[in-house]
Structure 1
């Protein structure tokens, strides 16, 4: 029986006031409903300019894939923004139609149009990406698998949602750190905002620092036979691949567990409603959370490193209004090493993130090399608003800039 390859971990965003159900194959940015005087996005498509400032001579290929929000269909968009649904797949998977758009040469730019998608814009250097269709839908590149047909290709992607309430577009390192890029948008008043750009020399500095760390972190780096550094896997994938030990964060988890056997952990997961609090205590192998009335609202088993690094399994975060918000707060606290910094979470002092001897070193290094300090280095890096995301309710233009690998 064919087993569909494990898909890349997807960055998940919980709506601030309500839990919005994630849509589509990529669950890019689950949009927060726009309020106030912001105008709606009335056009069916939005221009997206891809500027190639990489300095690399290879041909660039671009792909815009996702879910068409008006119908829920999965598919791809061509350069004009026209939607094409995927045909049926197979078992084993069959090759998907060629959805590539020939990208701009070094120093040039290309403008395409984005439909109202929840999706991803992929870009690759030197060769096209291979997408396949299983009976359950699109098989996206599995960056952690050396058997994936894209394993030797230099590529990356951005995630976005464009709907009637605006555009949310972000850079992401949830699955890997690879070919650098920045995302941005232009507002109706002509002003621009952007994020995702590395510091000068930040690309090489990240890999140099990662490879100098003891404890297996250098095993996250993937290099092509010609010497090209392709990517560093996110540590959850590193645990899966055996590059990092499954006990990576156990010491920290044990200390957290011991502390909250004798002290209450207070979680206030909604920045706009700080009065909503939940209270956690550990008994045996279970952390139980109660509400202000003393009612049990959810429980968590003692998480392993994989659950923490992937923000799933024992730290699953459903799109509800209780367990999901608590879980994502815990996930951020474990990854940033702040659950011992304060019994009130989320703890939002970035200068004290990743300070424990046992921490997510990958996330620490990603944030350290970002020009504005913002990144999606793990799935819920938006807790406390530290994510590399830009949004506007009525944008007139979007951009992706392919940056140098230096």
Structure 2
């Protein structure tokens, strides 16, 4: 018998076309929790599940039409989904997306990093979610790239609303202009993140995606900042926490942007990996020289103020009307009860999720609750669409490589005694002793 607080077995999602095009298609992929986590796609009618069988060869075509047409600008199409994990809601404008199946079955998803991918020169984007028996968790993802504006509005059974504004219609152009402006200041390679088609901006890749395409991009970029952070460590290139929970060698720019390579590779130890989350967030936001107790006592106005910082994250946050959206894998790190930066919303009693594409209705007034980081959220590290922040090779296992909702735990500053026992978080680095 279901527990009293179990979510409904299905959820309605309202898909709004707020572009200027009458040719916009949506796709929904994930793992069906109530069907042994089987690979799931929603068919074009927005109601019928498609569970692919394992093909005999790689790059096999889907056996069903899964493109959901949204109709004319301003139109809304309501679809119904079951409980899904690691799910993505994809949009493409003026085209369709190509998905393939590999033996498993495993879904071969569109790639923003593979120039040979049939979707590479298309105008597409996605948001990510998990809908399970406990709650709905959804976020706007910019970890891989930025392209189409997407906004989220979640209404629960008590008619309470949460909203993530997303970008305005010209958000991508604003971001690309900002990247070009930063390139003119430091010549670090920010303009190489801009992907164009026929002279028009198609997407802005994240630094991590840019590095997966060109491994020399941003080489040495963070070195002087890392050296300053560890200035007092004259005997070695390592620094460690006084409780022995974690030891780190000096990270490269790729390690910092990706959050999961080199000294930041996942260890499987909860305490160590939670320290890594806070440390990588502080490096991306460049707060380690200004706050010895990061992320505590910080607000977003203090992020990205150093000349050496994740300027992609800075520019993307500024282009979002409420400043929210996942711009690197640990962008959910926040002070205790601090405002959300990651563009995530969640509720144990969801009634309707509205996802609008195109920016035509982007606003900061559509919701009543912009949640702070609390233990309700089961999110955490939002993995890049590239497996462990390395090249995806266009393949995922069983649905989606996204696992931001898979119980990593939120990274707010101190919601329990174990977190408060992290020796003041970054404060306990020898650099600050």
Give the TM-score, by structure 1 length: 0.79
Contact 2:149 2:168 (8 Å CA) reproduced: no
Structure 2 CA distance for partners of 1:155 and 1:184, relative to 1, 3 Å: same
Residue 171 of structure 1: aligned partner: 140
CA distance in 2, matches of 1:74, 1:320: 29
Residue 72 of structure 1: aligned partner: 37
Q: More strand by proportion, 1 or 2? A: 1
- Report Cα offsets for 1:344-383 as digits up to 9, x if no partner: 1224321111111111110000111111111101111000
CA distance in 1, matches of 2:117, 2:237: 38
**1:289 counterpart = 2:256:** no
Structure 2 CA distance for partners of 1:201 and 1:93, relative to 1, 3 Å: closer
CA distance in 2, matches of 1:397, 1:69: 19
- Determine which of 102, 116, 127 is the counterpart of 1:147: 116
CA distance in 1, matches of 2:349, 2:267: 29
CA distance in 1, matches of 2:57, 2:285: 40
Residue 390 of structure 1: aligned partner: 345
Give SS of 1:144's match.
coil
**1:349 counterpart = 2:317:** no
**1:366 counterpart = 2:316:** yes
CA distance in 2, matches of 1:199, 1:50: 17
Residue 122 of structure 1: aligned partner: 90
Give SS of 1:331's match.
helix
Give SS of 1:365's match.
helix
Residue 5 of structure 1: aligned partner: none
The Cα of 1:205 is off from its aligned counterpart by: 1.9
- Determine which of 190, 197, 209 is the counterpart of 2:178: 209
Contact 1:45 1:81 (8 Å CA) reproduced: no
Structure 2 CA distance for partners of 1:200 and 1:233, relative to 1, 3 Å: closer
- Report Cα offsets for 1:104-160 as digits up to 9, x if no partner: 321111000121112001111121111122335212122012111101110000100
Contact 2:166 2:359 (8 Å CA) reproduced: no
Residue 111 of structure 1: aligned partner: 78
CA distance in 2, matches of 1:91, 1:322: 42
**1:258 counterpart = 2:222:** no
- Give ranges in structure 1 of 5+ residues lacking alignment: 1-37, 263-282
306-315 vs 296-305, which moves further: 296-305
Give SS of 1:374's match.
coil
Residue 331 of structure 2: aligned partner: 381
Structure 2 CA distance for partners of 1:375 and 1:159, relative to 1, 3 Å: same
CA distance in 2, matches of 1:135, 1:144: 22
| CA-based RMSD | 2.2
The Cα of 1:285 is off from its aligned counterpart by: 2.7
- Report Cα offsets for 1:216-266 as digits up to 9, x if no partner: 2111111113x332100001111222283322222212222224x28xxxx
CA distance in 2, matches of 1:217, 1:159: 26
Give SS of 1:157's match.
strand
The Cα of 1:308 is off from its aligned counterpart by: 1.0
Contact 1:50 1:400 (8 Å CA) reproduced: yes
The Cα of 1:297 is off from its aligned counterpart by: 2.1
Structure 2 CA distance for partners of 1:90 and 1:146, relative to 1, 3 Å: farther
Structure 2 CA distance for partners of 1:39 and 1:208, relative to 1, 3 Å: farther
The Cα of 1:287 is off from its aligned counterpart by: 2.4
Contact 2:46 2:68 (8 Å CA) reproduced: no
Residue 235 of structure 1: aligned partner: 207
The Cα of 1:55 is off from its aligned counterpart by: 1.8
